[in-house]
């Protein structure tokens, strides 16, 4: 490869046109290693330029190449060693191309490398031991290639690593010593679909920064599951499926209360939550950690209370056999008497026409009615009969209540309207389940009408309600699981978050357009032309490709019917803002009040303080505040010196003082200054949406039409 670089230099010297710096020639060597470039991605990589800083996919800082990013361009070729000569190189992203061959060890001479993303190619060979030189490496994604061999032990020297994805390769061997204790900052770990073997390192429980799913599935790991895995963060989902693991499943920490989904495909595993009980010969089978949540009076499975010998060894005495037979006979007689009694009551009901209107109360609390149904009424629920089964809201729901209750569940968040869980069914389907509470409200018919109306909403930017469950003690709403959290977290992060990747302007604009489309659907095309009434970044969820989903629509109303005590009630909400406390009289008790310290209050339209019928212009105002938040990167409550004001007031003050856009713009958007015209256009839309007069605000249809003219650049 050195010869190729020299050849390139000689060629340009012979023509007398050499003007390119050394880093440019290193990249031209990279271009020479590309056999096919069907989209012309490297067409402007010309030797006549002084530097490569204007070339496609190349980013420079102080005329030094810091990033080479050419994803999804169908490039066919191999990786040259010349990339390692770029001394200031920080980021390499060549994902989803057609690179083949091995990973040159010279690449790791660029010791300042922070991210190496090569997934979705056809690279092969082993991972060079020189990987350990990358002391600043934070992201290593080699997934979906054909790499083989074992992971070099030197990788544990990459102590700043935050994301390690080696999935879907042919890596083998055991994990290196110190794997668990070396990566103190690791947040993402995916080793699935390889041929790793040996035991799972016991120190893996030290990876306290992990998030999401730790995926060790589809490998050849053997031995027992280390109990120390339970030390991982509680919300981490540990996928151990399809290995050769054996022994009891530890019931500690993050391993507790997991459904069978995480452990299937390991025939040697036993104990809860699997249906395969541990035998007495299984090592540690009788350890307390392997038997979760047994009541204090639960009888031993194998030993009696006297001698320590199993029942099979001692046998049953003659008196014990007689006692069992007598008790069985008595039980049969009691069942017969019960049926006789019920039959007589049913017949008595049939004789009295008035009594035929009675219904069966499943709770049996103080009700003397008998169980009577006419043939044409036997399948009809009275308004007083409570629903005790999962009710699907579309034909795609293939799971039942039993599957739902047995699934692995993880708390996603808590609010004034119940707890939200991530639920992973045994077949891998992931759902979000909101528990509304344990209120004993009897308003089932009202709840049913409301939830089924919400369940009919279908739009790419509206979170889909798939099913619900109602009983005296439990009310559940089952949604599609949306994986990338809320817009609020994407904009501002959250406490305890180790890493934070800010949203680019292109991504923000995509989200802005999606929210607008979802609101247009709610306002104009939904069956009742709904008002959301509680729109804010925390209830806008982001999908796999960061597409937005408006969630929590109608949630306050459902919580109120279900007997809970929601903090917010959608469509019937007013807010008292701090700067208006002295100007507004106390509102009617009909109106749900929200603490002024609640961030949700700053998204509410001014007229929501009055007892009026909810208007779609309430949503327009909330949308405008969200746009301002996405442009400025500020929270809806802005601190200015020792005082504070809401974001709308602050923006208005900045406009009056004619401050430059740079003073208002989110600092994370500094690299997007070339999008200034788009940002200003969106700012104008936002200011129209937050107009104090609802009549002067545009409709969401008009907003969406204007936004559609702003083109989102392709990747």
Residue labelled with tokens 């470039």: 37
529 belongs to a structural domain: no
Cis peptide upstream of residue 273 (ω within 30 degrees of 0): yes
Rg (CA), the chain: 32
Residue 567 has pLDDT above 70, yes or no: no
In angstroms, rounded to a whole number, what is the distance separating the alpha carbons of residues 596 and 410?
A: 31
126 belongs to a structural domain: yes
Lowest mean pLDDT among 178-187, 251-260, 665-674: 251-260
What ranges in 459-609 are assigned the alpha helix state H? 487-492, 505-520, 555-562
711 belongs to a structural domain: no
71 belongs to a structural domain: yes
Per residue in 469-491, pLDDT (tens digit) is 887 677 888 898 998 989 999 99
92 belongs to a structural domain: yes
In angstroms, rounded to a whole number, what is the distance separating the alpha carbons of residues 29 and 26?
A: 5
282 belongs to a structural domain: no
Residues forming the active site: 534
Using CA atoms in the order 182, 187, 190, 191, what is the torsion angle rounded to 10 degrees? 10
Q: Report yes or no on whether pTM surpasses 0.85.
A: no
What residues make up the domain containing 126?
59-270
For residue 262, the SS3 value is: helix
What number of H helices and E strands is found in the chain? 15, 29
Q: What is the pairing mode between strands 195-198 and 220-223?
A: parallel
How many structural domains are present in the chain? 1
Phi/psi zone of residue 247: left (φ > 0), alpha (ψ -120 to 50 degrees), beta?
Answer: left
DSSP E strands: which ranges in 546-603?
Answer: 548-550
Average the pLDDT over 643-651 and give the result.
89
Query: Listing from the earlier edge strand, what are the strands of the sheet with 188-190?
Result: 58-61, 64-69, 91-93, 115-117, 139-141, 163-165, 188-190, 213-215, 237-239
Q: Between these two residues, 160 and 285, which has the higher pLDDT value?
A: 160
Phi/psi zone of residue 605: left (φ > 0), alpha (ψ -120 to 50 degrees), beta?
Answer: beta
Judge whether 681 and 627 are in contact, CB under 8 Å: no
Query: In this predicted structure, what is the pLDDT of residue 414?
Result: 72
Burial environment of residue 444 by CB neighbours within 10 A (0 to 12, 13 to 18, 19 or more): buried
**Count of beta carbons in the 10 Å neighbourhood of residue 596:** 15
Residue labelled with tokens 């050769």: 244
For residue 172, the SS3 value is: strand
In angstroms, rounded to a whole number, what is the distance separating the alpha carbons of residues 463 and 539?
A: 10
52 belongs to a structural domain: no
Residue 357 has pLDDT above 80, yes or no: no
Query: In this predicted structure, what is the pLDDT of residue 352?
Result: 40
Longest CA–CA span in the chain (Å) reads 113
User: Which of 279, 271, 251, 274 lies closest to 262, judged by CA?
Assistant: 274
CATH number at residue 249: 3.80.10.10
Query: In this predicted structure, what is the pLDDT of residue 23?
Result: 86
DSSP assigned state of 688: H
The model's confidence at residue 259, banded by pLDDT at 50, 70 and 90, is low
28-37, 264-273, 275-284: which has the highest mean pLDDT? 28-37
The model's confidence at residue 494, banded by pLDDT at 50, 70 and 90, is confident
Residue 245 has pLDDT above 80, yes or no: yes
């Amino acid at each position: 490869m050195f010869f190729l670089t020299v050849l390139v230099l000689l060629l340009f010297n012979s023509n007398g046109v050499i003007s390119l710096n050394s880093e440019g020639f290193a990249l031209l060597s990279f271009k020479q290693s590309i056999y096919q470039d069907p989209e012309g991605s490297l067409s402007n990589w010309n030797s006549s330029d002084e530097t490569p800083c204007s070339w496609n996919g190349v980013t420079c800082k102080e005329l030094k190449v810091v990033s080479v990013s050419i994803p999804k361009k169908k490039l066919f070729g191999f990786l040259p060693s010349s990339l390692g000569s770029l001394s200031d190189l920080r980021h390499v992203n060549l994902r989803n191309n057609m690179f083949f061959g091995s990973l040159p060890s010279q690449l790791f001479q660029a010791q300042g490398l922070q991210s190496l993303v090569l997934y979705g190619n056809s690279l092969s060979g082993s991972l060079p031991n020189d990987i350990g030189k990358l002391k600043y490496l934070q992201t290593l994604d080699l997934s979906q290639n054909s790499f083989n061999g074992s992971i070099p032990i030197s990788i544990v020297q990459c102590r700043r690593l935050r994301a390690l994805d080696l999935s879907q390769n042919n890596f083998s061997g055991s994990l290196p010593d110190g794997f668990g204790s070396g990566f103190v900052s690791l947040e993402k770990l995916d080793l699935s679909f390889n041929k790793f073997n040996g035991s799972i390192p016991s120190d893996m429980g030290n990876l306290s920064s992990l998030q999401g799913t730790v995926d060790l599935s589809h490998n050849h790991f053997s031995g027992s599951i280390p109990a120390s895995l339970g030390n991982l963060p509680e919300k981490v989902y540990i996928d151990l499926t399809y290995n050769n693991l054996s022994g009891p499943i530890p019931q500690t920490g993050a391993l507790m209360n997991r459904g069978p989904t995480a452990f299937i495909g390991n025939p040697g595993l036993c104990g809860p939550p699997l249906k395969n009980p541990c035998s007495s010969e299984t090592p540690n089978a009788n350890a307390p950690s392997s038997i979760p949540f047994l009541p204090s009076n639960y009888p031993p499975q194998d030993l009696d209370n006297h001698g320590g010998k199993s029942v099979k060894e001692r046998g049953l005495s003659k008196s014990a056999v007689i006692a069992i037979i007598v008790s069985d006979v008595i039980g049969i007689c009691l069942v017969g008497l019960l049926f006789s009694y019920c039959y007589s009551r049913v017949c008595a009901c049939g004789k009295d026409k008035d009594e035929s209107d009675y219904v069966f109360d499943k709770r049996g609390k103080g009700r003397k009615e008998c169980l009577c149904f006419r043939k044409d009424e036997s399948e009809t629920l009275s308004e007083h009969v409570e629903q005790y089964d999962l009710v699907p809201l579309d034909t795609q729901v293939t799971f039942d209540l039993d599957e739902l209750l047995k699934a692995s569940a993880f708390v996603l968040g808590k609010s004034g309207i119940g707890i939200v869980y991530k639920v992973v069914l045994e077949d891998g389907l992931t759902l979000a389940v909101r528990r509304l509470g344990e209120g004993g409200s009897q308003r089932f018919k009202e709840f049913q009408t409301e939830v089924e109306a919400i369940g009919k909403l279908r739009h790419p930017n509206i979170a889909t309600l798939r099913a619900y469950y109602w009983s005296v003690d439990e009310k559940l709403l089952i949604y599609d699981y949306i994986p990338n959290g809320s817009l609020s977290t994407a904009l501002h992060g959250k406490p305890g978050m180790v890493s934070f990747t800010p949203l680019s302007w292109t991504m923000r604009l995509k989200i802005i357009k999606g929210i607008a489309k979802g609101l247009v659907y709610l306002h104009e095309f939904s069956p009742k032309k709904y008002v959301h009434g509680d729109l804010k970044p925390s209830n806008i969820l982001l999908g796999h490709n960061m597409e937005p989903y408006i969630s929590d629509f109608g949630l306050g109303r459902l919580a109120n019917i279900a007997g809970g005590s929601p903090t917010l009630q959608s469509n019937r909400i007013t807010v008292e803002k701090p700067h208006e406390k002295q100007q507004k009289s106390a509102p009617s008790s009909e109106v749900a009040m929200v603490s002024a310290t609640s961030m949700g209050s700053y998204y509410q339209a001014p007229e929501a303080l009055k007892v009026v019928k909810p208007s779609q212009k309430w949503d327009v105002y909330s949308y405008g505040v969200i746009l301002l938040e996405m442009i400025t990167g500020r929270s809806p409550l802005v601190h200015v010196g020792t005082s504070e004001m809401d974001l709308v007031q602050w923006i208005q003050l900045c406009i009056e003082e004619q401050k430059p856009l740079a003073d208002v713009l989110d600092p994370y958007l500094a690299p997007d200054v070339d999008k200034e015209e788009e940002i200003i256009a969106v700012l104008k839309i936002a200011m129209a949406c937050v107009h104090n007069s609802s009549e002067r605000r545009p409709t969401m249809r008009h907003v969406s039409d204007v936004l559609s003219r702003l083109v989102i650049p392709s990747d």
